[in-house]
Amino acid sequence: MKKIGFIGLGNMGKGMSINLSKENLQIFGYDINNNAYKNLKNHNILIANNLKNLIDESEIIITMLPDGLAVGKVWSEIITYSTPGKYIVDCSTIDVKTSRFVQMQAKEKGLMTLDAPVSGGVIGADQGTLTFMVGGKSQIYNEMKFLFEIMGKNSILCGEEGSGQSAKICNNMLLASTMIAVGESFNLGKNLGLDLNKLFEVISTSTGSCWAVNSYCPIKGIGPISPADKNYEGGFATALMYKDLGLAVDAAAETESNINYGIQTYKKYKYLTENKKGNLDFSNIINE
């Protein structure tokens, strides 16, 4: 039986760890927020007393943390207490520079690493339908692929270390921009007197079809159930999308890439986050 340590049991990590616990795996969980454990009481997940306890017990460690600072701190402890041959997979969304740096440090200790940020949101984490964008060596990816198949529907090896993070920030910049356009399209349709359910039928089966419409429509009562139906509570927080867009803006500056519309999108999410709506789902952007 494989022993898996899962660090970070928040909105995303909760569903991912629960799906792993349904297989023939021994799961150890850890989070600095004790409230995170409440959602795991009825699942086959052992709670570690501390990080060292989890590290000692695990053959494979998965991290799902909020930012690069947290990843750097946690990985430093993992590297310190781990013996050569252990596997570490980071599913957080962080800057490429930090991802490459911590993996380089881990490799010097003889550890096997991947960066594997995800797409699919909380719904995808809960339902096991995530897409993993993976960076690292192909041999390590092939050995860890069974985990991605449990927690998700797709995994793509994008290249060497850091490539998963690069793909993720490109994807999220497009998603955030698309969500704004979806909101504007439905608002125009409403003002034109259209039945929004009919507009959804048209867009979801026409050239405007996209994930932000088909799976995560930001209009209450339209399409599949989404955070819009819960007053934008839960889901993927606006503040986290703002953070991800900041990573894209920084990467564009470093690579001298032109992302004019991406910068406009970043500014819109910045405004929303700074006006006390950062806790709401990112699709709430359509109301601004």
Q: Which residues are catalytic?
A: 168
Q: How far is CA 109 from CA 161, 177, 281, in A?
A: 16, 40, 39
Q: With H, G, I as helix, E, B as strand and everything else as coil, classify residue 72.
A: helix
Q: Which tokens is 259 given?
A: 């992302």
Give the residues across from 134 on adjacent strands: 157
- Alpha-carbon distance of 95 to 251, in angstroms, equals 8
Q: With H, G, I as helix, E, B as strand and everything else as coil, classify residue 196.
A: helix
Instruction: Tell me the residue length of the chain.
Output: 288
Distance of alpha carbon 55 from the chain centroid: 23
Report, in this order, helix, strand and coil percent for the chain, each rounded to 5.
55, 15, 30
Alpha-carbon dihedral angle through residues 243, 249, 255, 259, given to the nearest 10 degrees: 140
